[in-house]
């Protein structure tokens, strides 16, 4: 059994009286790929935002390497540098070139020398087939390229965990593959990944653990072979059936 | 294809020639109407003598230019102070920490009060009022307190421009910056404010051009700048031409100023964007 990297203990979150996450308990092993699936509005994005400390949680706790990172008032910035996040709409900074996007955080928050940060950025860009794009601006790139840049930007601060929130949902179908390839490569390199996705085939083939969310609850959790073929709960069966019917699996 | 001009290029060339022709003809008609009709007005001779008197124009020009130096100076020290103060106010107003609530309330009161009263009234109130307290030189100078009035009023306008710019930057940009471990302040400094400022350059220029003109209001509390010099010349020679001279001098500054910024904005846009819808 490998180390537990992230551990969520009875996590709850509501907006006003709308309870969005309820009693979420989940262990994420170092180097594993945990996939969140579930209908729209089930709380996948909110859960990822909570893990990145972009949203405060109401109850429960989040442990990173056995340290409680959900203590109110904790300085979140150093922790966010250990837990990277990539968003559905890329969220690149449009006024900065690809290179500037990537080296912003390393140079400003980690105090890394500019020339060193640049060299490392070039290395990452080349690794993901973007070697010639360092001086382009985000608006001059395709969606798939922008998303790969966003991944490189998150990797440049060398996070221990990477959160990916539906990173292929804004892409044209023919561009989805190039981004999923990047995720597969990250898995192969041993990165701990937590991702929300609607790409069911990808979830089945790549995940170590699949969690089905519905109405803020984890209604099913286990290895993909079990979740996709023999779900226990009735809601999970319905959800998977609807996916199969719509031809997405 | 082996043709020298494509069908589209030919079409666009034709269209361009046509619109240039239309623009030229319509401009000529307007100019001709003014040149031909205005002199037909019953009092045109008197107006021409008292407003468009070439001799008076060139006679007062050196004095006007000399006085204009003061306008430029006032503008030069007010504009940076305005931009700094306005940015501080806009940032305070956009702050999210609950500890800063009193500061937010203060900035709201400040912008409401400053914007709710005409600039000229603030110049009178501050420019006459504060020196009346009897402070020692140079702190009793109306020039200083008139400038203070300009800075305080204009900063409240410009703060609203900056605030609109800051609010127009989408929340997801902040989320991305924070997720990279940037602090709140770094997020503002490197991600939000650069985008906000780029977006508000046109309204910002609008306010700066207004400022360049409103600097002349300081003359009402004493300092001899261009408007006041023009008034002096007008009285001396009983002729309004110095005011035309002053207007021409203002235009010589404000028009290049606006053209240059338009050019810079366009260049920046071209640099950072991909294909563009026509
Ligand atoms: N900032 C917010 N304020 C209020 N409600 C929110 C906010 N963000 C998300 N929600 C609500 O939380 C629920 C879960 O949303 P989300 O996590 O985005 O779901 P998913 O990513 O699974 O589609 C939805 O009902 C949504 O309306
Ligand atoms: Mg979502």
Q: Where are the domains of chain A?
A: 4-245
Q: For residue B95, what pLDDT is reported?
A: 82
Tell me which residue in A109, A139, A150 faces B181 most closely, judged by beta carbons.
Answer: A109
Tell me which residue in B180, B183, B272 faces A94 most closely, judged by beta carbons.
Answer: B272
Q: What is the CA radius of gyration of chain B?
A: 25
**Ligand nearest to the CA of residue A40, numbered in listed order:** 1
Mean pLDDT over residues A85-104, rounded? 96
Q: Nearest chain B Cα to A104, which residue?
A: B190
Return d(Cα A207, Cα A197) in angstroms, integer: 11
Token pair of B38 as six digits: 């205005």
Return d(Cα A91, Cα A49) in angstroms, integer: 14
Mean pLDDT over residues A23-30, rounded? 95
- Angle between helix B226-237 and helix B241-272 axes, rounded to 10 deg: 150
Q: Which residue has the higher pLDDT, B274 or A148?
A: A148
Give B214-255 as a 3 state SS string: HHHHHHHHCCCCHHHHHHHHHHHHCCCHHHHHHHHHHHHHHH
What distances in angstroms separate CA A20 from CA A85, A165, A196, B44, one per listed residue? Answer: 20, 16, 16, 77
CA–centroid distance, A33 to ligand 2, in Å, is 18
pLDDT tens digits along B142-179: 888 999 999 999 999 999 999 999 999 999 999 999 99
Q: For residue B277, what pLDDT is reported?
A: 67
Token pair of B57 as six digits: 């124009």
Q: For residue A241, what pLDDT is reported?
A: 86
pLDDT tens digits along B37-91: 888 888 888 888 888 888 888 988 999 999 899 989 999 999 999 999 999 999 9
Check if the beta carbon of residue A79 is closer than 8 Å to that of residue A53. yes
Check if the beta carbon of residue A121 is closer than 8 Å to that of residue A104. no
Share of chain A above pLDDT 90, in %: 84
Give the mean pLDDT of chain A: 93
Check if the beta carbon of residue B226 is closer than 8 Å to that of residue B68. yes
Mean pLDDT over residues A67-82, rounded? 92
Give the mean pLDDT of chain B: 89
Q: Nearest chain B Cα to A89, which residue?
A: B172
- Burial class of residue B35, CB neighbours in 10 A (0-12, 13-18, 19+): exposed
Residues of B numbered 235-274 whose beta carbons fall under 8 angstroms of chain A's beta carbons: which are they?
A: 271-274
Return d(Cα A102, Cα A84) in angstroms, integer: 13
CA–centroid distance, A39 to ligand 2, in Å, is 9
Which residues lie across from A6 on neighbouring strands?
A28, A64
Q: For residue B278, what pLDDT is reported?
A: 60
Q: For residue B190, what pLDDT is reported?
A: 97
CA–centroid distance, A221 to ligand 1, in Å, is 21
pLDDT tens digits along B184-232: 999 999 999 999 999 998 889 889 989 988 998 888 887 788 888 888 9
- Among A64-78, A145-159, B257-271, the minimum mean pLDDT is found in B257-271
Rounded (5°) CA angle A223-A228-A231: 90
- CATH code reported for the domain at A4-245: 3.40.50.300
Mean pLDDT over residues B14-35, rounded? 91
Instruction: List, edge to edge, every strand of the sheet that includes A67-68.
Output: A18-29, A4-15, A59-64, A67-68
Q: For residue A95, what pLDDT is reported?
A: 95
Q: B270-277, long-range: CB within 8 Å, 24+ apart, which pairs?
A: B271/A137, B272/A94, B272/A95, B272/A137, B272/A139, B273/A137, B273/A139, B273/A140, B274/A137, B274/A139, B274/A140, B274/A141
What distances in angstroms separate CA A132 from CA A10, A36, A149, one per listed residue? Answer: 46, 34, 12
Mean pLDDT over residues A189-206, rounded? 93
Mean pLDDT over residues A33-40, rounded? 94
Please list every residue in chain B whose beta carbon sits closer than 8 Å to the beta carbon of residue A154: 179-180
């Amino acid at each position: 059994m490998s180390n537990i990297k992230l551990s969520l203990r009875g996590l709850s979150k509501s907006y006003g009286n709308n309870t969005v996450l309820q009693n979420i308990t989940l262990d994420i092993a170092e180097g594993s790929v945990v996939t969140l699936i579930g209908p729209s509005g089930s709380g996948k994005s909110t859960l990822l935002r909570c893990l990145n400390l972009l949203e405060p949680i109401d109850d429960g706790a989040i442990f990173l390497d056995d340290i409680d990172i959900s203590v109110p008032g904790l300085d979140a910035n150093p922790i966010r540098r250990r837990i990277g996040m990539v968003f559905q709409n890329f969220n690149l900074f449009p006024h900065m070139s690809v290179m500037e996007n990537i080296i912003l955080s390393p140079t400003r928050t980690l105090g890394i020398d500019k020339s060193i940060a640049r060299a490392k950025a070039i290395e990452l860009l080349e690794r993901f087939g973007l070697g010639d794009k360092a001086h382009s601006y985000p608006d001059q790139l395709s969606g798939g390229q922008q998303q790969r840049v966003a991944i490189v930007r998150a990797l440049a601060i060398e996070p221990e965990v990477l959160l990916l929130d539906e990173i292929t949902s804004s892409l044209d179908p023919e561009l989805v593959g190039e981004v999923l390839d990047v995720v597969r490569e990250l898995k192969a390199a041993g990165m701990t990944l937590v991702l929300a996705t609607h790409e069911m085939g990808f979830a089945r083939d790549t995940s170590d653990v699949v969690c089905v969310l519905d109405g803020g609850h984890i209604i099913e959790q286990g290895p993909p072979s079990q979740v996709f073929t023999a779900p226990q709960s009735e809601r999970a069966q319905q959800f998977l059936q609807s996916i199969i019917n719509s031809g997405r699996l | 294809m082996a043709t020298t001009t494509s069908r589209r290029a030919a079409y666009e060339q034709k269209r361009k020639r046509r619109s240039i022709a239309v623009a030229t003809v319509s401009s000529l008609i307007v100019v001709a109407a003014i040149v031909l009709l205005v002199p037909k007005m019953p009092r045109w001779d008197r107006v021409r003598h008292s407003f468009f008197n070439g001799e008076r124009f060139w006679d007062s020009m050196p004095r006007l230019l000399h006085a204009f130096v003061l306008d430029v100076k006032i503008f030069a020290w007010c504009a940076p102070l305005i931009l700094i103060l306005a940015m501080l106010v806009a940032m305070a107003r956009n702050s999210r920490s609950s500890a800063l609530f009193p500061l937010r309330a203060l900035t709201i009161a400040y912008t409401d009060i400053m914007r709710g009263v005409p600039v000229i009234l603030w110049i009178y109130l501050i420019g006459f009022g504060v020196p009346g307290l009897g402070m020692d030189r140079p702190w009793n100078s109306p020039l200083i307190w008139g400038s203070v009035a300009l800075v305080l009023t204009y900063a409240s306008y410009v703060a609203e421009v900056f605030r609109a710019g800051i609010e127009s930057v989408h929340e997801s940009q902040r989320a991305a910056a924070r997720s990279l471990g940037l602090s709140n302040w770094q997020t503002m400094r490197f991600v939000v404010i650069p985008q906000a400022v780029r977006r508000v350059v046109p309204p910002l220029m609008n306010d700066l051009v207004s400022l360049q003109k409103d600097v002349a209001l300081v003359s009402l509390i004493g300092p001899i700048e261009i408007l006041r010099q023009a008034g002096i010349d007008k009285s001396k020679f009983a002729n309004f031409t110095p005011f035309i001279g002053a207007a021409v001098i203002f235009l010589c500054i404000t028009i290049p100023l606006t053209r240059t910024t338009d050019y810079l904005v366009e260049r920046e846009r071209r640099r950072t964007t991909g294909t563009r819808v026509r």
